Amino acid sequence: MKGMILAGCLLGLGLFACDDGGAASSNSNNVNNVNNHTNNTTIDPDCASVRLTSYTAADGGWCEFDRTLPVLPAFVRAGLTTAIAEPWNGSSYGGDPGEACGECWEVDTIGGSEVVMVHDLCPIEGNPLCAGSHFHFDLSGESAAALFTAGLDEGRARRVPCPVTGNVHAQILDWNQWGFVRLQFVNHRVPIRAAALRYGSEPADTWHELARSGGAWAISGAPAADPGEPIFFRVTSAQGETVAATLSVPLLDESTNHFDLGVQLTDQGEASVGVCEFLPPAAVYADGWGGINQVRWMPNPWGSTHVNETGSGCHDGSASCLRVPDMAQWSGMHVYYRQEFPPDFYTTISFWIRAETGPMSFLFSLSGGDGPCSETTIEAGTEWTRHTIELATVCALIPAINTLTWQNTTAEAPFVLDDILFE
């Protein structure tokens, strides 16, 4: 059962995934800059760790299609879209920038699971979180609410063929009779790698290639034509399938801005197997703080307490552990994660502890926004001791946790912690 997490847009740690205007605010100014970047960072499309933020999305984003078009799936029209970080703008198939537009991802968080469509871009410029340190989605506010994310979070994502019905459509953005057409393709099942057009008066094997234009497609070298001249489009998927439209688009037709092409792309890939489920990092500390860049378990000591990472004297020769040199009596240390999660995600929490100079005693507890679980008394001697706490026993009445707490009940003395693990 996923926990209920409130959605929000404010990001912690002084870093923001979009400026005050949202990810789409830089559409007109950053097209050339964006196109100079390539997709040079790969992820596992079958199940990848993804860092998540959120912003207030407009109906038209950098990908330049209207997410309220009636031909789009209901979830897209309801706002379940995302801006993708620029290093992954070439789609999960590694194409040119813009290929990610219209690609669908299944995102799983502590709060839920939803399919979202890429509709916008989170550019590198001005957005440190979107610069490539970790696979990143800047979710629309609607997506964040559906996934119960709050601020800066983590999830898991895998690409899926878009659950579309009907055919690929062309949303016309601009055109004239002198050979200029600018458009975006929408409602395609898999990303589009290449596109071309021909006029109905031309031979069936005559095609004029379109080029990427920001998030859309354009051509300025097609032959001049009279209004009403039928245009046929051809698209090639990122998987290599090519389909030619069976329905034409009449040049300069003002009856609508989106036209049915009469064809759909098929998914040439293998169906996903198993689940791609997100669980908060089980390793709270094991040779380093558990989690991903900007979303990790973190210490929060109080009183006289300091906590340091060290490579000396760790349990069983591990590379790194935590040394606390100065926790006075009744002082302590919290270790917290940004997102609360139900304690029944795991069965136990365990850790190794060693007092350096003599016996010590601690009160250990887990807690969340609804209060603490039952405390457990922990005794530490000068030899390493492993303590294991059953979560169902101590947290039976607490719906969500995100904090571990050690409080010293004896005189100040140094001690060491290692391998703090949920299982």
Q: Verify that 254 and 370 share a domain, yes or no.
A: no
How far CA 158 is from CA of 51, 82, 114, 162, 317, in Å, comes to 13, 14, 11, 12, 37
Burial of 83 (0-12, 13-18, 19+ CB in 10 A): buried
Distance CA(124)–CA(36), nearest Å, equals 11
Q: Which domain holds residue 316?
A: 283-422
Per-residue pLDDT for 410 more than 70?
yes
Taking the model in full, what pTM does it have?
0.88
Q: Is residue 265 part of a domain?
A: no
Phi and psi torsions of 99, nearest 5°: -65, -25
pLDDT in tens, 115-163: 999 999 999 999 999 999 999 999 999 999 999 998 899 999 999 999 9
Looking at the fold, whether 305 and 412 belong to one and the same domain comes out as yes
What is the residue-averaged pLDDT of the chain? Answer: 91
Write the CATH number for 401: 2.60.120.260
Residue 277 lies in a domain: no
Binned at pLDDT 50, 70 and 90, residue 218 comes out as very high
Number of domain units in the chain: 3
Domain end position, chosen among 126, 160, 194: 160
What does the pLDDT read at residue 273? 83
| Contact yes or no for 48/135 (Cβ under 8 A) | yes
- 404 and 288 both lie in a single domain: yes
User: Is the same domain home to 299 and 240?
Assistant: no
Question: How would you class 49 by CB atoms within 10 Å of its CB: exposed for 0-12, middle for 13-18, buried for 19 or more?
Answer: middle
The continuous run of DSSP H or E covering 237 comes out as strand 230-237
CATH number of residue 230's parent domain: 2.60.40.760
Model confidence at 271, pLDDT cuts 50, 70, 90, reads confident
27 and 127 belong to one structural domain: yes
Mean pLDDT value of segment 69-88: 98
DSSP 8-state assignment for residue 288 = S
pLDDT in tens, 296-305: 999 999 998 9
Q: Is the pLDDT of residue 50 over 60?
A: yes
Q: Are 81 and 118 in contact (CB under 8 A)?
A: yes
Q: Which residues contact 318 (CB under 8 A, 6 or more apart)?
A: 286, 287, 418, 419
Tokens for 229? Answer: 């001249």
73: nearest Cα among 115, 101, 12, 111: 115
Same domain, 31 and 149: yes
